[in-house]
Amino acid sequence: MQLAPSAMNRQPVTFTYRDDLVTASVSDISAHAMAIDLGIAKAHFALGASGSWEWGNGKKFNRND
């Protein structure tokens, strides 16, 4: 169960961890609400993990080391 905030309370964002790389994506970035949800989820992840995301759908997270 996901309890994170989103624009439409759907939590459509998928986080993937593979080969020491974290990415975040939504299935339909052209849907305005999904783009907002992606931004919300990426912002919360970045705050919690101390880093920043590359701009766009399916892009990687960079930790502040």
Which residues contact residue 43 at a Cβ distance below 8 angstroms, ignoring those fewer than 6 apart? none
For residue 3, the model assigns a pLDDT of 62
Strands annotated E in the chain: 14-18, 21-25, 51-53, 61-63
pLDDT digit string, tens, across residues 21-63:
999 999 988 888 888 999 999 999 999 999 999 999 999 999 9
What are the residues facing 24 on neighbouring strands?
15
Residues facing 15 on adjacent strands: 24
Domain residue spans of the chain = 14-63
- The structure tokens 């989103």 sit at 6
